[in-house]
Amino acid sequence: MKLLVKFGGALLDDAASRSNLAGQVAALHASNPVLAVVHGGGKQMTRFLEERGVPSEFVDGLRVSSPAVIDAVLKVFAGTVNHELVATLVAAGLDAIGLTGIDAALTECEIVNPALGQVGRPVRANPRILDTLTAAGFLPVIACVGGDRTGKVYNVNADQMATSLAASWQADRLLFLTDVEGVRGADGQRIPVLHSDQARKLIEDGVATGGMLAKLRAAEFALLNGVGEVRIVHGSTPDVLARVQSGEPLGTAFLR
């Protein structure tokens, strides 16, 4: 099974949480080596910017990215967050390799909206890198930074980046590990299974906003572009990776 797992930045901000997730990834990789990881780091980014007096502004869940923010993107996403995670995965026994979308044009982007600055929308990906690395037993660990053929650097929403890679790689499952139990309806209850028309209604009715809005849009894109299943689950759930892979109905599953 081709499996792509996206880690929310909040799960990586604590050494104990990183270590726990790394152990789970190592166990999963032993039985399913065709595996790649994408990670965010929004919490760490906001803290880094606050310490330097740079305000964070969001539009539809996307961080407005000035040159100062892009500099922080490279330092935080591609630097600290990526390498702390890779180091923890290596300590768990994995041959993990840290990457960004800039490397070998893994994720090429275009500007989403000039008003957002250097926020990139993935337009194509190079899945050969993932095939080459996973075939050799390596675990790609990808930070949500993109580029283009002119040398520009883009801040990319991690959910969109994970979806773009999963679609181009034709992943069987895209798993979002986040800080919520799944998608909740207007009544506040978790929705175990969600189809595209239901997801669009949650958006239209204003039930899904911010980060969840971005996830719903990303999940719909993934399913329309060949990903077998998308699932959102709480990353702090004990043994979450093994339980999802065993078929336990955790979180919210998006199906065609």
The whole-number pLDDT of residue 60 equals 74
**Pairing between β-strand 58-59 and β-strand 62-63 as defined by DSSP bridges:** antiparallel
Superfamily the domain 3-243 falls into: Acetylglutamate kinase-like (3.40.1160.10)
pTM, 2 dp = 0.93
Residue whose structure tokens are 């506040």: 188
Low-confidence stretches of the chain (pLDDT < 70) are none
Q: Give 50-100 pLDDT, tens digit per residue.
A: 999 998 888 877 899 999 999 999 999 999 999 999 999 999 999 999 999
The whole-number pLDDT of residue 119 equals 96
The whole-number pLDDT of residue 71 equals 95
Coil, strand, or helix at residue 36? strand
Q: Is 44:81 a contact under the CB 8 Å cutoff? A: yes
Which whole-number Å values give the CA distances from 236 to 19, 39, 205, in the listed order? 12, 15, 29
Rg (CA), the chain: 17
Structure tokens at 134: 């996973």
Within 10 angstroms of residue 219's Cβ, the number of other Cβ atoms is 27
The whole-number pLDDT of residue 183 equals 86
